[in-house]
Amino acid sequence: MDRSDLNLDLDKINRAFAGEDPRKLLAHVVEKIGPARIALASSLSIEDQVLTQMLLKIDARARIFFIDTGRNFQQTYDLMEETMGRYEFHYEVYAPENSELEPFLAEYGPNAFYDKVELRQKCCELRKVRSLQRVLSTVDGWICGLRREQSPTRQEIGLLEWDSRHAIYKVNPLAAWSEEQVWAYIRRENIPYSSLYNKGFRSIGCQPCTRAVAPGADVRSGRWWWEDPSKKECGLHPSLNPPAKEEEKR
C-alpha cells in the first residue's frame, strides 16, 4: 500500500480516541495500516511492555522491534527473553553498523557522551537513530510508548502524529496516561517488567546514561542527568507538533 493512499485524518482520529482505551486506537491503526506495515518500537520500558501485551492480543502477527545499542543493561536482555517466552513471539532486533560506530569510538573513546552534548547526540545517532531509520523504511507507521508527563519535550504529543522526517504515521496510544495508570495495568495484567524499576529507575536506556532517581523526581531525570533537561532526547523522538496539516502529508 502506498502511504499516500492511507490518508488518515489526524485531527479526526485524535478527537475520536481522546479519553478512550488505548487498545481501541491500536486496533484502529493496525486495521487501517495493516500488521505487516506498522511496528511497535520497544525499549522494554513499562510503557512498551503494556503496548506489547495489548498489540499481541489484537494481532499475534504484530511486528515489535528492539534497538540493541550494545550498551543496554543485562536486565533488559533478561526481560526480552522473559517477554518472548510469555507472549510467544520474537523481537526484530536492530544493531549499529560497526563500520559507522568504530571510527567514532577510535576518535572519541567509549565514554565520549559524558564530554559534551554534541558527542552524546552523535553516539545516540550511531547507536539508535540510524538503526531506527532502517526499520522505519519498512513500515508506514510506528507505535511508541511516549507519554506527555514524561518530560518537557513530550508535553504536546498527540495520539496520532505525522512524522515528516520519516514520512510515516507515529502512534502514541499512551500519550494521556499517567505513570500510575501504566503501573495499574502492569499489575492487573501481570505483565513482566524490568527489575531495575524496583531499584529506583523510572526510565531505562543505555547503562552508562541511565541511573536511579530520588522519589518524586522527574520521570526522565535519570537519563543523561548531566545535561540541560530541554536537550534530553536521543533523537528518536523529536517534537512533531503542531501536527502536520493534510496537505503537508501529500
Whether the CB-CB separation of 249 and 2 falls below 8 Å is answered with no
pLDDT band at 238 (very low <50, low <70, confident <90, very high): low
Contact residues for 12 (Cβ-Cβ < 8 A; gap 6+): none
Question: What's the average model confidence in pLDDT over 207-219?
Answer: 86
Flag whether pLDDT at 197 surpasses 70.
Answer: yes
Whole-number pLDDT of residue 186: 98
Residue 64: phi, psi to the nearest 5? -130, 125
Residue 223 has a pLDDT of 83
Of 203 and 234, the one with more pLDDT: 203
Choose the catalytic residue: 13, 25, 39, 234. 234
Average pLDDT over residues 232-250: 46
Over residues 11-16, the mean pLDDT reads 96
User: Residues annotated in the binding site for [4Fe-4S] cluster, as ranges?
Assistant: 123-124, 206, 209
3-198, superfamily in CATH?
A: HUPs (3.40.50.620)
Active site residue 144: no
Query: What gap in Å lies between CA 88 and CA 86, rounded to an integer?
Result: 6
Average pLDDT over residues 237-248: 45
Residue 235 is predicted with a pLDDT of 47
Q: At what angle do helices 22-33 and 10-17 cross, to 10 degrees?
A: 150
| Residue 229 pLDDT greater than 80, yes or no | no
How many other CB atoms are found less than 10 A from the CB of residue 84? 14
Quick one: pLDDT at residue 69? 96
- Predicted confidence at residue 47, as pLDDT, reads 97
- pLDDT score for 214: 85
The DSSP secondary structure of 165-214, one letter per residue, reads TTTEEEE-TTTT--HHHHHHHHHHHT----GGGGGT-SS--BGGGB----
Q: What is the pLDDT of residues 74-115, one digit of tens each?
A: 999 999 999 999 999 999 999 999 999 999 999 999 999 999
Per the annotation, where are the binding residues?
123-124, 206, 209
Hey, what amino acid is at 38?
Answer: I
**What is the per-residue pLDDT for 203?**
87
Q: Which residues fall within 8 angstroms of residue 131, CB to CB, at 6 or more apart?
A: 67, 94, 95, 96
